[in-house]
Amino acid sequence: MRTKSLAALLSAAIALGTVHLASDVQAQGARGGSAAGDAQKDERIKAILAQLTSKERSDVRDGFAAMEQLGTGAAAAVPTANRVLSRGLPIDLTTTALHALGSVGDVSSSQAIRPYLRHRHVELRREAAKALIKTKGQEAKDGLRTALSDADAMVRGIAATGLGELGATEHIATLFAALDHNVPEAASSIGQLCNPEQCEQYASRTGRIGFDVMITGFDQILFRDPKQMPDDQKIRIIGRVRELGTGDAHRFLKDVQSRWPEGWSERVKKALDLAVLSTQGAPGGGES
Amino acid sequence: MSAGRQLGSFAWRSRAWCWLAPGLLIACGAGQTRIGDVFNTEWQNDGGKSIRAVQSKLANQAIPKGADVAVGIVDKGLVGVALDSGKTWAFSHAIDARPLIAGDVVVATGGGEMFALEAETGRKLWSRPTPGQIRGAGDDGKTTLVSLEPSSHSAGMLVAVSRDGTVVRQLEANVPIGSPAIVANLAFIPWQNQYVTVYDLTSGDEIARAILRHQTSQAFLAGGSLYFGEVGVTRFDDRIGDAARDEASKVSLPVRELPGKPRWMRAGGVVGKTTSDAFDAIRAYALPEPTAGGLRLDGERYYATYYRIAAGLNDVTGELAWVRRLEDDAIGGAAYDGGVALCQRSGKVSFFDASMGATAGQVSLGQPVRVCVVQADSLSRRAEAARPEPLVEQISQVIDVTQTEMVMMHAFLLRELISQESPKATQRLIELATDARTPLELRTVARTGLASRRNGAEYMLAALEKRYDFLAGELMPPPVGPLSDALAEMKETRAAPLLAEHLNDPANDTDDVKRAAMALEKLATPAELEQLETFFALYRATAHNDDLIAAVVAVGKAIVRVGGDAGRELVRQAAYDPLTVPLLQEPLKQL
């Protein structure tokens, strides 16, 4: 439960604030070893932790900015950063914190970030959704699934994209619902996640949903690893697109043809070549 | 002493009409009198002596009841339907003014003539050339008195015509007069909005005058009595002599603000248009009923229409008793003994029982009409349903938010709904507040009303179960704020977890969030602590408006109340954290 998580973190932060800071630094020190680079990194982490727990707004900002710069190298500061975010920050600092935690990409941050998907400030919801894509984990997937129902189209779009990137196959039904509710970003994610049967369900929406949206999913399906997506399914998709017989279909097929990886299925390649040929000169194709 | 001399300034002067254009001649040779000084305002109030004398003379005079009929204007002329039998008739004729039903005749003008039809059947009784349009009529069963508008050819006039079409008297009127009535060959002519002159059509003399203390431009017969009125009515009975002291038998509609300000009667003596207007659609109806103490309204009701909506109201308090939605706009009607007949633009005439608005049948003119006039003087119809649905359900059914042109009436009905005790009213108010089609004005009224409800908790809790959900098509959050107010007042702790969820739902506006927070200040239990702390964390440093600031303070109070030492410490830390919104720091320190 996301709110439970935040509340737990928040209480812990209040009760154990400085104790955690010290232990984080010690832990990092223990991992750091004696190398000069590690010592320097320890110092940097120590400085970040001090900044994050400062009462000064500028210090906190600098601490998160430093984390963002360090990326995964700032992992040791993540527990403290998570707690600081969970206690609540002004909007500008929250944005900075979300960027920083996203940049570090530690899965433990998803719990601290998720409540911000419900913040009234829409920019924070968008940033939280983007950060969750980077911090990953089930918490992130579940949060993004909920965000598909957000009132803001951009939040929905980010969430849909994120679910694809995170491989959230368990939420593919919701992605279909999103697609049917005019969340175009869901198309590409469905293309990334669908099994052959679901891919067919997706393809059956051709004609109902704009072709410009549908091709984002087709593209993903066609370039899926051959181990994940059988050739027959890819050939069926090519056939569906070819049957449209439009200039747009031709252009799409030609584009896929041009990017078809060396050594990939010859059968699919052949189907592609034939489809490109048969759609040549299609209305609106702009070429003979 | 003649009546004219008695009344001082009265002077009825005969005048021949034969000089008028030949085609427009009415009749020469009949008794003809011109009203001139009769409208002289130097007349001295006779203390009701003359009118009392007339009343005394007519006390035993039976006044025949008129026909029960609806008459409409259509392209080809007039159509009519008998209200009891439903039998219809049609009469083709040019029509230049709204027809009038007087007694058992229908009188109209058009094509340069005036004519009378038998109201029940539409059979033509007589026609006469006329120089003007009809603006009033009365009938006593033998003689029809027609008031004609002044035209370029003539001054206004009153023409008395017998059943066989003979003009028995015609009077030229150089001043505006109201719509007359006639009883036993005595014409009762309202004028100057306060006088009623009694004119003897036999002798050609004005024999009495009454002065009334409320606006009076109509004289009419109803239920076997003679009445004068426009704003309220006065009965011509043994108290008529006291009219000048405003002590006659009088009844008015109660003072009650209704949508569109419907009026009972039009100003008399004005030519009615041949197409219906807003006055016809927004109209009040009532039937005066004599009582031992004076006068009241039949069935303890008066009725009001607002286009497609009809309502019955208490005759004394104005309290809404029932309300019905019609299939089409009501453009005419009449109250009858025990109910009201409403004629719709479609030509249908529907009957409603006075007490609860139960339907009492329907007849039809057979086609849409431009204008509809109704008389239901002796009608009696039984309600079809023994007991219709309760008022709260009637109101709920009638409010239809898709009819955006009815917002005024719907707002009125919403306020009535709010005044209903039944939990069903709560349910309907929630529906209206959450229906995306509800106009903002109505939604505001519904929300205000919901906040004041003290019943229907189950409906409220069910409403709070819903959330904004784009994918589920739930695009309108429930009225969280008003429900919070109501549930807090009802001390309904079952609402706490639901309100805590809504606290953190960005789809709710900040006013709703504030009210949810304030309710949770009272209702929250430790089970809601996590949600409260989440909210506190998200907004203690980002609250950007007064609502959110108030919400954070209220949530802070709730945390202190249910969160134990840890909760108090959480709030204390926030109060002294410089990152907390400055406006919040002091209030949080006070907790």
CB atoms within 10 A of CB A153: 13
Is A116 within 8 Å of A145 (Cβ atoms)? no
pLDDT in tens, B389-418: 899 999 999 999 888 888 999 999 999 999
- Cβ of A120 and B510 within 8 Å? yes
Residue with tokens 């002044």: B150
Range of the domain at A226: 194-288
Is B512 within 8 Å of B527 (Cβ atoms)? no
**Together in a domain, A130 and A230:** no
Q: Is B79 left (phi over 0), alpha (psi -120 to 50) or beta?
A: beta
Residue partners of B337: CB distance under 8 A and separation at least 6: B223, B287, B298, B299, B378, B379, B380
What is the token pair recorded at A182? Answer: 């005019």
State residue A286's pLDDT score.
57
Please state the φ and ψ torsions of residue B87, each to the nearest 5 degrees.
-75, 135
- Cβ of A55 and B566 within 8 Å? no
State residue A41's pLDDT score.
84
Residues 159-178, chain A, touching B (beta carbon < 8 A): 174, 177-178
Query: Is A177 a domain residue?
Result: no
Q: What's the Cα-to-Cα distance from B545 to each of A200, B46, B587, rounded to whole Å?
A: 49, 73, 15
Query: Is A121 a domain residue?
Result: yes
What is the rounded distance in angstroms from the CA atom of residue B60 to the CA atom of residue B227? 16
Q: Is B165 left (phi over 0), alpha (psi -120 to 50) or beta?
A: left
Query: Is A77 a domain residue?
Result: yes
**Together in a domain, A14 and A114:** yes
Residue with tokens 């990953």: A136
What is the token pair recorded at B281? Answer: 């659609």
Q: Please state whether beta strands B88-92 and B100-102 pair in parallel, antiparallel, or not at all (unpaired).
A: unpaired
CB atoms within 10 A of CB B316: 11
Query: Is A254 a domain residue?
Result: yes
Q: How far apart are the first and last CA of chain A?
A: 58
State residue B403's pLDDT score.
84
Residue of B nearest to A176 (CA): B471
What is the rounded distance in angstroms from the CA atom of residue B499 to the CA atom of residue A99? 31
**Together in a domain, A47 and A120:** yes
Rg (CA), chain A: 24
What is the token pair recorded at B453? Answer: 């409800």
For chain A, which residues score pLDDT lower than 70?
1-35, 285-288
Is B277 within 8 Å of B309 (Cβ atoms)? no
Q: Please state whether beta strands B186-191 and B181-183 pair in parallel, antiparallel, or not at all (unpaired).
A: antiparallel
Give the count of domains, chain A. 2
**Together in a domain, A19 and A119:** yes
pLDDT values of chain B reduced to their tens digit, one per residue, 591 residues: 333 322 222 233 333 333 333 334 344 334 444 333 566 667 788 899 999 999 999 999 999 999 999 999 999 999 999 999 999 999 999 999 999 999 999 999 999 999 999 999 999 999 999 878 999 999 999 999 999 987 766 667 899 999 999 999 988 877 778 999 999 999 999 998 999 999 999 988 889 999 999 999 999 999 999 999 999 999 999 999 999 999 999 999 999 999 999 999 999 989 999 999 999 999 999 999 999 889 999 999 999 999 999 999 999 999 999 999 999 999 999 999 999 999 999 999 999 999 999 999 999 999 999 999 999 999 998 888 767 889 999 999 999 988 888 899 999 999 999 999 999 999 999 999 999 999 999 999 999 999 999 999 999 999 999 999 999 999 999 999 999 999 999 999 999 999 999 999 999 999 999 999 999 999 999 999 999 999 999 999 999 999 999 999 999 999 999 999 999 999 999 999 999 999 999 999 998
Residue partners of B5: CB distance under 8 A and separation at least 6: none
What is the rounded distance in angstroms from the CA atom of residue B269 to the CA atom of residue B562? 75
Query: Is A169 a domain residue?
Result: no
**Together in a domain, A37 and A125:** yes
CA distance B494 to chain A (A): 20
State residue A26's pLDDT score.
47
Residue of B nearest to A151 (CA): B470
Residue where a domain stops, chosen among A136, A153, A170 = A136
Query: Is A166 a domain residue?
Result: no
**Together in a domain, A123 and A234:** no
Q: Which residues lie across from B68 on neighbouring strands? A: B376
**Together in a domain, A88 and A207:** no
- For chain B, say whether A60 makes contact (Cβ under 8 Å): yes
Residue where a domain stops, chosen among A119, A136, A153 = A136
- Cβ of A121 and B471 within 8 Å? no
Is B119 within 8 Å of B69 (Cβ atoms)? yes
Query: Among candidates B394, B389, B383, which has minimal Cα distance to B351?
Result: B383
CB atoms within 10 A of CB A138: 12
- Cβ of B531 and A90 within 8 Å? no
**Together in a domain, A10 and A124:** yes
What is the rounded distance in angstroms from the CA atom of residue A64 to the CA atom of residue A104? 10
pLDDT in tens, A135-172: 999 999 999 999 999 999 999 999 999 999 999 999 99
**Together in a domain, A198 and A286:** yes
3-state SS class at B138: strand
Query: Is A179 a domain residue?
Result: no
**Together in a domain, A129 and A198:** no
Please give the domain boundaries of chain B with CATH numbers for all domains. 3-66+87-251 (2.40.128.630), 390-455 (no CATH), 478-591 (no CATH)
What is the token pair recorded at A217? Answer: 């999913």
- For chain B, say whether A18 makes contact (Cβ under 8 Å): no
State residue B459's pLDDT score.
98
Residue with tokens 């021949």: B16
State residue B37's pLDDT score.
58
- Cβ of A151 and B468 within 8 Å? yes
**Together in a domain, A121 and A7:** yes
What is the rounded distance in angstroms from the CA atom of residue B423 to the CA atom of residue B442? 19
State residue A35's pLDDT score.
66
What is the rounded distance in angstroms from the CA atom of residue A220 to the CA atom of residue A175? 15
- For chain B, say whether A87 makes contact (Cβ under 8 Å): yes
Percentage of chain B exceeding pLDDT 90: 83
What is the token pair recorded at B409? Answer: 């009436």
Query: Is A5 a domain residue?
Result: yes
Residue of A nearest to B532 (CA): A7
Looking at chain A, list the stretches that DSSP marks H as alpha helix, in order from N- to C-terminal side: 2-32, 36-52, 57-70, 78-87, 91-104, 109-113, 122-135, 138-147, 153-165, 172-180, 185-193, 196-203, 211-222, 231-244, 247-259, 266-279
What ipTM was predicted for this assembly?
0.86
Contacts of A55 in chain B (CB under 8 A): 577-579
- For chain A, say whether B573 makes contact (Cβ under 8 Å): yes
**Together in a domain, A212 and A130:** no
Count the helices and strands in chain B (H runs, E runs): 15, 32
* 3-class secondary structure per residue, A21-61: HHHHHHHHHHHHCCCHHHHHHHHHHHHHHHHHCCCCHHHHH
Query: Among candidates B526, B541, B530, which has minimal Cα distance to A84?
Result: B541
Q: What is the dihedral of CA B131, B137, B138, B141, to 10 degrees?
A: 70
